Amino acid sequence: MRAVVQRVSQASVTVEGAVVGAIGPGLLILLGIAPTDNDTTAQRLAGKISRLRIFADAAGKMNRSVVDVRGGLLVVSQFTLLADLAGNRPSFTPAAKPDLAAPLVQAFVRHLETAAGLPIAQGVFGADMQVALVNDGPVTLCLEMTNEGS
Respond yes or no: is residue 125 known to be catalytic: no
Confidence band for 147, pLDDT divided at 50, 70 and 90: confident
Q: How far apart are CA 20 and CA 148, in angstroms?
A: 34
DSSP state of 96: P
Catalytic residue among 80, 93, 114, 130: 80
Mean pLDDT of 49-63: 97
Kindly report the number of other CB atoms within 10 A of residue 141's CB atom: 13
Is the pLDDT at 63 greater than 80, yes or no? Answer: yes
Is the pLDDT at 127 greater than 90, yes or no? Answer: yes
Q: How far apart are CA 78 and CA 90, in angstroms?
A: 14
CA–CA distance from 90 to each of 35, 47, 78, 81, 84 (Å)? 17, 30, 14, 10, 6
Predicted pLDDT of residue 148: 67
Q: Cβ distance 147 to 70 under 8 Å?
A: no
- Of the candidates 59, 22, 58, 37, the residue with the CA atom closest to the CA atom of residue 111: 37
Confidence band for 149, pLDDT divided at 50, 70 and 90: low
**pLDDT tens per residue, range 65-75:** 999 999 999 99
Respond yes or no: is residue 6 known to be catalytic: no
Is the pLDDT at 144 greater than 60, yes or no? Answer: yes
Catalytic residue among 6, 14, 55, 79: 79
| C-alpha 57: how far from chain center | 23
Confidence band for 47, pLDDT divided at 50, 70 and 90: very high
Catalytic residue among 41, 78, 108, 122: 78
Respond yes or no: is residue 43 known to be catalytic: no
Which domains are delineated in the chain?
A: 2-144 (3.50.80.10)
Mean pLDDT of 132-143: 97
Q: Cβ distance 45 to 81 under 8 Å?
A: no
Mean pLDDT of 137-148: 91
Is the pTM above the cut of 0.75? yes
Mean pLDDT of 5-20: 98
Is the pLDDT at 102 greater than 90, yes or no? Answer: yes
Predicted pLDDT of residue 150: 54
Q: How far apart are CA 92 and CA 80, in angstroms?
A: 7
